[in-house]
Structure 1
Amino acid sequence: MDEVRNPFAPGAGNRPPELAGRQAIIEDARIALERALLGKAARSQMFLGLRGVGKTVLLNTIESMASESGHVTSIIEAPENKSLGEILVPKIHQALRKLSAIENAKAKAHAALKALKSFASAFKLAYGEASISVEPEQGVADTGNIENDLPELFVRVGEAARDAGKGWSLFIDEVQYLSRDDLAALIVSLHTTNQRGLPVLFFGAGLPQVAALSGDAKSYAERLFLFPEVGALTEEDAKDAIRQPVNEEGASIDEAALLEIYQKTQGYPYFLQEWGHQSWNHATGDHITLDDAVSSQEATLKRLDEGFFKVRFDRLTTKERKYVIAMASLGNGPYRSSDIADALSESVQSLGPCRATIISKGMIYSPSHGDIAFTVPMFNDYLIRNLDKLG
């Protein structure tokens, strides 16, 4: 089949041609965005899931929807080595410049810029190439304590958005990389704007442990956010994610081929995109058969191994690699920490620092006390499949 017309888009954050199985989450977001603009209470959302399930796609989709509905948006990816303030300041500056162009919001936007200048000065933060050409407001967002200062800054931004007849929606990907203090400050800030009825919403995405991290940071987080789980697709949705794009290109696919792709990918969206991409390229004419889906396995696994899986494995040290290989040798997870220690002939306590570092790198998480699981679907299969190369 014509590779130029291949509808599938495997890649980090690439929107698939058919966003199957996520309609309820998107509809909840749409309602929240519209309620915020009307000054009605709306709950922010935190999308939780493993790697490759489409959390970033959801964030990007909802950010576009927010922009179209009248929200000024700020979208960022939390890095592992920067503070929340450092990544927020330039984005808030950009949002306030947009709001300041609206006549009714000029005064509040100016006040918010002064608060931003105070905040940036208190934490010695840069704000990109453009300068904040106002004087800081003394006594506002300038204590140097982020849990005190960030809520004051968010309130100023929310007031400017309200006077402009708009909302402000903040989107943060990889929330698990925020420090505990930064996450607590973010939660307090959203709680404060929510209590004041300001049109401020937050949409975050992170690994499954983010719900527990949020609860540890502030006990009321579970009442402030919705925590939709973004997981593997059902069989019906997975088949739709393949069938619809194929049909829209004037082609067709066997039901048996759809079942093969679903079973081999376990319904994980990134893997579906990769298998669909390879099946299309293997097919001839305008029809994908079961044989095409089966013969695509080698090319699909090669692409996944060399890209999706390998880049994550390469981040680990030698000791960390031994730890995750020991996990995989035990079969499918979750895994007991004690069993991993036994496999490595070490104590659970001695492996604690190694385990903590792997968690901090976003490779594993603890679904329950004493248990460990991979954050990357089918990662254990990758390790076993390539044990001769990786061991």
Structure 2
Amino acid sequence: MPNPFTPTAGARPPVLIGRDAVLEDFRIALEDGPGAPGRLSLVTGARGVGKTVVLAELTEIARTTGWVTIDETATPGLLERVRLSAVRAFETLDLAPGKRRALTGFTVGRLGGAQFVPPPPPRSPGLREALEELLSPVEERGSGLLVTIDEVHRKEIDDLRQIAATFQHLVREDRDVALVVAGLPSAVHDLLNDDVLTFLRRADRQTLADVPLDDVRVALSTTIAGSEVDITEEALDVATTATGGYPFMVQLVGYHVWRRADDGVIEVEAAAAGVAAAQVRLGSTVHEANLASLSAVDRTYLVAMAQDDGPSRTSAVAARMSRDMQYQNVYRDRLITAGIIKPAGHGLVDFAVPYLREYLRDHAARYEMQGRLTEE
């Protein structure tokens, strides 16, 4: 049978774990009506923690309760796509005039013959008007409108400002609306510090973190058993521990371990081989993308951290970079904001994504050379 695991960005996993509180908060917000805090939310976290998956689950919750949903990604043309989606949604409603026969034109009589008068051009309401027009029949039937926007960032700041301003008006008018946006920690940080997007500062912040290993173990075991494959307890221990509770790694490990089942059974050796394959794949899909978005000095900081087997002392990192503590603090804060590293105690930092330390050790020469070339 097909592999039950889904290690693809944005793909919904067979079992969603560790997000019950986020989903329940949203369900309650829909029930509590306009003004409920969960109706305006920011979902953030490092790459691979499942932000897109959570958005999909929130959309499903809204749809099952009768809400109209618009799901978008913050790419060029965002504002216009949201507007058009609202117009099209209105036209598909049973109560919408758009369901009636469209006027193609009419003829009026006059001396000497008849004149064909074309219909007026189609209306093109702005975003606020389009959303208000859609909401009227939607609210009459006791539901509302959810808009989700994934991968928010500063490049689309103008469109995000207009969308936020429109929702601010709708919230002020007690309309049945919800807005949920998702992005990396650094992107969300930029939005919250924008002078115009102050509306979003009052949003519920849902920071997605790693999942407890006990939940990971249950998810792996349940998914594998559902595919008519067995896994030994020892192999399950190896697979569970290797994920580090990182949601994307759960799918990667599960996928590669499942592939190595022999006669329908996954033994320890197969689990170890699957984990090794998953680590390689994690480097090419997550670590490379994370590091590519950073400056050369950011990467130099991480290479300095990678010399330690556990949490790094910031004073040691500064010494390895031949810089003072004030200089080190700038890059430490940047990397924490980006969700690449995390505080690990007074004067300590650690990697926020599993196996990044090992990946950097394997590629240290490359990133050290980039850092030196930048300084020169």
TM-score by length of 2: 0.74
SS at structure 2 position matched to 1:134: coil
**1:44-193 superposed matches below 5 A:** 44-79=40-75, 82=76, 86-102=77-93, 104-106=95-97, 133-134=122-123, 153-154=127-128, 157-158=131-132, 160-165=134-139, 166-177=143-154, 186-193=163-170
Correspondent of 1:304 among 270, 282, 294: 282
Query: Cα RMSD (Å) of the superposition?
Result: 3.8
Aligned to 2:106: none
**What amino acid does structure 2 have at the position aligned with 1:7?**
P
* Number of aligned positions between the proteins: 339
Q: How far apart, CA to CA, are the structure 1 residues paired with 2:189 and 2:290? A: 23
**What amino acid does structure 2 have at the position aligned with 1:26?**
L
Aligned in 2, Cα 1:90/1:239: closer, same or farther, shift over 3 Å? same
SS at structure 2 position matched to 1:329: coil
Correspondent of 1:6 among 3, 6, 11: 3
Correspondent of 2:219 among 241, 256, 259: 241
TM-score by length of 1: 0.71
Aligned to 1:289: 267
User: Contact 2:253 / 2:278 at 8 angstroms: preserved in 1?
Assistant: yes
Correspondent of 1:206 among 183, 205, 208: 183
Correspondent of 1:16 among 8, 13, 16: 13
User: Contact 2:45 / 2:185 at 8 angstroms: preserved in 1?
Assistant: yes
Q: How far apart, CA to CA, are the structure 2 residues paired with 1:5 and 1:135? A: 46
Aligned in 2, Cα 1:366/1:262: closer, same or farther, shift over 3 Å? closer
User: Could you report, residue by residue, the CA deviation over 1:133-153 in whole angstroms, capped at 9, with x for unpaired residues?
Assistant: 4367xxxx7xxxxxxxxxxx4
**1:238-387 superposed matches below 5 A:** 238-316=216-294, 318-330=296-308, 332=310, 336=314, 340-347=317-324, 362=338, 364=340, 376-387=353-364
**What amino acid does structure 2 have at the position aligned with 1:49?**
G
User: Contact 1:159 / 1:198 at 8 angstroms: preserved in 2?
Assistant: no
Where structure 1 has 5 or more consecutive residues not aligned to the other structure, the ranges are 108-131, 142-152
Aligned in 2, Cα 1:367/1:78: closer, same or farther, shift over 3 Å? farther
For the pair 1:43 / 2:43, whether they are aligned, the reply is no
User: Could you report, residue by residue, the CA deviation over 1:226-268 in whole angstroms, capped at 9, with x for unpaired residues?
Assistant: 2223211112210122111111112222233222222222111
Pick which of 325-334 and 64-73 moved more.
Answer: 325-334
Shift of 1:91: 2.3
Q: How far apart, CA to CA, are the structure 2 residues paired with 1:331 and 1:188? A: 47
User: Contact 1:67 / 1:73 at 8 angstroms: preserved in 2?
Assistant: yes
**What amino acid does structure 1 have at the position aligned with 2:83?**
I
**What amino acid does structure 1 have at the position aligned with 2:2?**
R
Shift of 1:33: 3.6
Where structure 2 has 5 or more consecutive residues not aligned to the other structure, the ranges are 99-120, 369-376
Aligned in 2, Cα 1:389/1:283: closer, same or farther, shift over 3 Å? farther
Aligned in 2, Cα 1:257/1:157: closer, same or farther, shift over 3 Å? same
User: Contact 2:79 / 2:163 at 8 angstroms: preserved in 1?
Assistant: no
Identity %: 28
SS at structure 1 position matched to 2:182: strand
